[in-house]
Chains A and B, each alone.
Chain A
Amino acid sequence: MDWVKIDKKGLSVLPAGAHIDPLSACQTALITHGHADHARPGHQQVIATPETLAIMAARYGDDFAVIKTPLGYGETMQLGDVQIGMAPSGHILGSAQIILEHNQTRLIAAGDYKRKADPTCAPFEIVACDIFITEATFGLPVFRHPDPQAEIKRLLKVAGLFPERSILIGAYALGKAQRVISLLRAAGYNAPVYLHGAMQNLCDLYQAHGVELGELRPASISERGKPSKELQGAIILAPPSAMHTSWARRLTDPLLVFASGWMQVRQRAKQRGVEFPLILSDHADWDDLLATIEEINPREVWVTHGREDALIHACQTRGISARALSLIGYDEAME
């Protein structure tokens, strides 16, 4: 297997003359999903799902690439000597596994993925292949993500104990934020949800793609004076980077919540300075990583990034050959 290699820009597909989620500007980029560490601006050509292209345009402006080639789930195209296809990966809106076929070998770069139900994106699809390239963000057996609905119920119970405090949820602006809102709605929370300025754009985009998020309002807090009464007891979403800023301090005694798979580990949550760790992940947990690999049953597993040692060990004990690509540059803080 010598037609997919690692170079300085990441995963290079030689007979297609393209890179997958390249780390720096390149001729042709195949993009799995819209998170900033995977979808960077400045490539000559970008091939991605229409949703991912829309996300990139919303973030970087329409000129993020010279040529934009949409490739929807289930569609295929020929690029050089390689046939390229897309299948949903269940990570965020538009996220895709990239299916590559060359010389009677099928290779899937799954990008980031999850198996748990998520109404904000299409569910992961099992596609048989020879080589499965997987992430391993939560590739340790300590990670067994709890039921998302149960987590949201736990949060609403605590929120009910502090009717005078604002509930400030730190969540990554793309994907996690919309998932939190949709889970709140599914749990019967019908009050307006307030958004930090950095959230609005992408929530609008999700709604335009038919994801129901209910009533959203800007969480405007004036520079001076008190925050409006409206925000007391309300749920506010902000990017994690805004949680410990002067913006957040202007809220009335906010209850800090952080929505992430990392919250499973106590001391990780403590480092974040959160009062309520909401264990909610857009990545496959340990059980789902193994279940996915077993279902696909590839000849070989390649692990891109994360805690690869444990996953490779587990694959090998199951008789599946596995190796680490040790790609760097993909940021786990976004989870």
Chain B
Amino acid sequence: MRGFSELLDALIFSPRRNVKLAHLAGWLRQTPHPDRGWGLAALTGDLRFAHVKAGVVRELAAEVSSPELFALSYDFVGDLAETVALLWPSEPQPGEEAEDLRLAEIVTRLNAIPRAEVKGVLAGWMDRLNVAERWALLKLATGGMRVGVSGRLARTALAEAFEKDVGEIEEVWPLLSSPYDALFDWLEGRSGRPQAEGRAVFRPMMLAHPADDGLAENFTPDDWQVEWKWDGARIQFVSAEDGVRLFSRTGDDISASFPELVQDMAWKGVLDGEILSGTPQKIGSFNDLQQRLNRKRVTSRMQQEFPVFIRAYDILLAGEADLRNLPLSQRRQRLEAEMAAIDTGWLDISECLAATDFDQLVKIKEQSDPRIEGIMLKKRDSLYIAGRPKGGWVKLKRDPKQADLVMLYAQRGHGKRSSFYSDFTFGAWRDGDNGAELVPVCKAYSGFSDAELKKLDKFVRDHTLNRFGPVREVEQKLVVEIAFDQLHPSRRHKSGIAMRFPRFHAIRWDKHPEEADTVEQLRQFMTRDNS
């Protein structure tokens, strides 16, 4: 635990990726097995204890101080586990070095005990630990480390620590389960590489870069494949001997949400594509797709009411043949050929667009269907490389829509922004019973700089009208230009609209609230979009 909590602190405070990598690689080399495996699982979100609920931290909280003092402390610290760790009454005395608590001991014990014993066991351990270790223990037990370690970073650190290619580690990762005995056996030369052949497991995906300024100059039409960027969800479709599965971009198995797409089929292989609502002939909205995403069970009525289909744009495996080391131009040919062999109504192929120059591309993306987010540019000679390789795929998003809205409420952030008012609610005008009134239309908490955040925080503190727990109502005077992707009708919101991905575009300190937009003006965005 001592080494692990020091690692966590080093990871939290290291701003640079390569410093984080060095800390992590060093820890992986020095820590004995299986502690290193459990630690790795905790860092990558792969460690869960069925009997430990997040509520146990609240139960511990009740023991460390009065409810009033705890509430004030939590409001300031912004993190429940950290608040409990700081408030924990006993501290090991310096010099009295207790025997270190091993991760393996924690994992074994927490897996073995019934729920009723969890609190007591954690409390017993807390008494032996210092404040940083107490925090680490609570995070480990309840999941959700949030120390800035992505799965990718952890795998890169593994590659660095054991001198392997990170692509190889990515490839075997879905085959593993904590504490990764098979992985370390392979990394340390005691056995061969775990094999994925014939198994319906996730293959690491290739991701796109946002377009940069250089693109306009470097765009040569013959070298690029151009496609629409559809407003759906990226998926990987895998059909293998042991089943058919659907994975999200991050490798989560989302088959249960889409039972109609994972029926056994004769065709075997791996496709990369987008899941969209509706049918290939009539595409639905993202709002409809959301009715299906993140559901553990889907009724047949839901399947009929909100049909979905897959629009494929790449092929990774055909049968046993791995196509990832072929250039895109050849994969595309193969995709077209294989698609002919798959006879199903819920799968089609992403259309390739013709463009003669960059200016034309920019025009295309703006004139497009509202269900299109922009366009994708893919180098015809690019291999399918996991991660975000340079010079591979580029996404060119259409310009966002904007509205001038008035700040109504502010709430303090959690995590990094725990002491700042950083989550804001904005309103637009409408005619109410007593004249014009502002009605909430969206919440936004991104798109501003740290310097702007400070000014926003000061504005909130200086213009508070009312406090409702953590929320402050502010004077209706600050206008912010909010950018957003889409508007949808909504019965849940008072204003009757729901905004997709609202974020700050510019803070208009200069504008008067009377100049802000009306709900009616926003509605026009919606009718234009959905027509």
Q: Is A271 an interface residue (CB 8 A)?
A: yes
Binds B, one of A67-75, A222-230, A259-267: A259-267
Q: Is A140 an interface residue (CB 8 A)?
A: yes
**With contact pairs A271-B416, A271-B419, A307-B72 given, residues A265 and B77 touching in the complex (Cβ less than 8 Å):** yes
- From B13, B69, B135, A313 is in contact (CB under 8 Å) with B69
- Shortest Cβ distance from B79 into A: residue: A267
Decide: A313 and B68 in contact? CB cutoff 8 A.
Answer: yes
**With contact pairs A271-B416, A313-B68 given, residues A266 and B73 touching in the complex (Cβ less than 8 Å):** no
CB 8 Å contact bits of A132-143 with B (1 = contact, 0 = none): 000000001111
Shortest CB distance A236–B (Å):
19
CA–CA, A266 and B416, complex, Å: 9
Binds A, one of B81-89, B222-230, B299-307: B81-89
- Shortest Cβ distance from B91 into A: residue: A144
- Shortest Cβ distance from A274 into B: residue: B13
Q: Is A15 an interface residue (CB 8 A)?
A: no
- CB contacts (< 8 Å) of B65 on chain A: these are 141
- CB contacts (< 8 Å) of B419 on chain A: these are 267-268, 271
Decide: A267 and B78 in contact? CB cutoff 8 A.
Answer: yes
Shortest CB distance B20–A (Å):
11
Decide: A310 and B69 in contact? CB cutoff 8 A.
Answer: yes
* Residue of B72, B82, B135 most packed against chain A (CB within 10 A): B72
CB 8 Å contact bits of A306-325 with B (1 = contact, 0 = none): 01011001100100000000
CA–CA, A307 and B419, complex, Å: 13
- From B66, B94, B416, A267 is in contact (CB under 8 Å) with B416
Q: Is B15 an interface residue (CB 8 A)?
A: yes
Decide: A270 and B12 in contact? CB cutoff 8 A.
Answer: yes
CA–CA, A252 and B59, complex, Å: 47
CA–CA, A140 and B72, complex, Å: 7
Q: Is B415 an interface residue (CB 8 A)?
A: yes
- CB contacts (< 8 Å) of A275 on chain B: these are 13-15, 19
- CB contacts (< 8 Å) of A265 on chain B: these are 76-77, 82, 86, 418
- CB contacts (< 8 Å) of B69 on chain A: these are 140-141, 310, 313-314
Interface residues of A in 268-317 (CB under 8 A from B): 268-271, 273-277, 307, 309-310, 313-314, 317
CA–CA, A290 and B87, complex, Å: 15
Decide: B416 and A307 in contact? CB cutoff 8 A.
Answer: no
- From A264, A266, A313, A314, B12 is in contact (CB under 8 Å) with A266
Q: Is A150 an interface residue (CB 8 A)?
A: yes
Shortest CB distance A133–B (Å):
21
Decide: B12 and A307 in contact? CB cutoff 8 A.
Answer: no
* Residue of A140, A143, A264, A268 most packed against chain B (CB within 10 A): A140
CB 8 Å contact bits of B4-42 with A (1 = contact, 0 = none): 000000001111000100000000000000000000000
With an 8 Å Cβ cutoff, the count of chain B residues facing the other chain is 26
- CB contacts (< 8 Å) of B79 on chain A: these are 266-267
Decide: A141 and B87 in contact? CB cutoff 8 A.
Answer: yes
- CB contacts (< 8 Å) of A271 on chain B: these are 416-417, 419
Shortest CB distance B125–A (Å):
20
**With contact pairs A141-B87, A142-B87, A275-B13 given, residues A266 and B76 touching in the complex (Cβ less than 8 Å):** no
- CB contacts (< 8 Å) of B417 on chain A: these are 267, 271
- From B14, B76, B82, B94, A307 is in contact (CB under 8 Å) with B76
Decide: B73 and A310 in contact? CB cutoff 8 A.
Answer: yes
- CB contacts (< 8 Å) of B72 on chain A: these are 140, 307, 309-310, 313
- From A142, A150, A309, B83 is in contact (CB under 8 Å) with A142
With an 8 Å Cβ cutoff, the count of chain A residues facing the other chain is 26
Interface residues of B in 85-106 (CB under 8 A from A): 86-87, 94
Decide: B13 and A270 in contact? CB cutoff 8 A.
Answer: yes
Shortest CB distance A178–B (Å):
26
CA–CA, A144 and B19, complex, Å: 30
CA–CA, A218 and B78, complex, Å: 40
- CB contacts (< 8 Å) of A276 on chain B: these are 13
Decide: B418 and A277 in contact? CB cutoff 8 A.
Answer: no
Decide: A142 and B86 in contact? CB cutoff 8 A.
Answer: yes
CA–CA, A36 and B464, complex, Å: 27
- CB contacts (< 8 Å) of A264 on chain B: these are 86
- CB contacts (< 8 Å) of A268 on chain B: these are 418-419
CA–CA, A276 and B15, complex, Å: 11
Shortest CB distance B188–A (Å):
27
- CB contacts (< 8 Å) of B86 on chain A: these are 141-144, 264-265
Decide: A267 and B418 in contact? CB cutoff 8 A.
Answer: yes
- Shortest Cβ distance from A275 into B: residue: B13
CA–CA, A313 and B66, complex, Å: 10
CA–CA, A147 and B68, complex, Å: 28
- CB contacts (< 8 Å) of A143 on chain B: these are 86
Shortest CB distance B3–A (Å):
15
- Shortest Cβ distance from B461 into A: residue: A328
- CB contacts (< 8 Å) of A314 on chain B: these are 69
- Shortest Cβ distance from A313 into B: residue: B68
- CB contacts (< 8 Å) of A142 on chain B: these are 73, 76-77, 83, 86-87
Interface residues of B in 417-436 (CB under 8 A from A): 417-419
Interface residues of B in 38-90 (CB under 8 A from A): 65-66, 68-69, 72-73, 76-79, 82-83, 86-87
- CB contacts (< 8 Å) of A309 on chain B: these are 72
CA–CA, A35 and B274, complex, Å: 60
**With contact pairs A140-B76, A141-B69, A142-B86 given, residues A270 and B416 touching in the complex (Cβ less than 8 Å):** yes
CA–CA, A143 and B73, complex, Å: 9
CA–CA, A267 and B12, complex, Å: 9
- CB contacts (< 8 Å) of A147 on chain B: these are 94
CA–CA, A309 and B70, complex, Å: 12
- CB contacts (< 8 Å) of B77 on chain A: these are 142, 265, 267
Shortest CB distance B50–A (Å):
28
- CB contacts (< 8 Å) of B15 on chain A: these are 273, 275
Interchain residue pairs with CB less than 8 A apart (17): A140-B69, A140-B72, A140-B73, A141-B65, A142-B73, A144-B86, A264-B86, A265-B86, A267-B78, A267-B82, A267-B417, A273-B15, A277-B13, A309-B72, A310-B68, A313-B69, A317-B66
Q: Which A residues have a C-beta under 8 Å from some C-beta of B?
A: 140-144, 147, 150, 264-271, 273-277, 307, 309-310, 313-314, 317
Enumerate the 5 nearest inter-chain pairs by beta-carbon distance, A residue then B residue, closest first.
A142-B86, A310-B72, A267-B418, A142-B73, A275-B13
Besides A267-B79, A307-B72, A310-B73, 16 other A-B contacts (C-beta < 8 A):
A140-B76, A141-B87, A142-B76, A142-B77, A144-B86, A147-B94, A265-B86, A267-B82, A267-B417, A274-B13, A277-B13, A307-B76, A310-B69, A310-B72, A313-B68, A314-B69
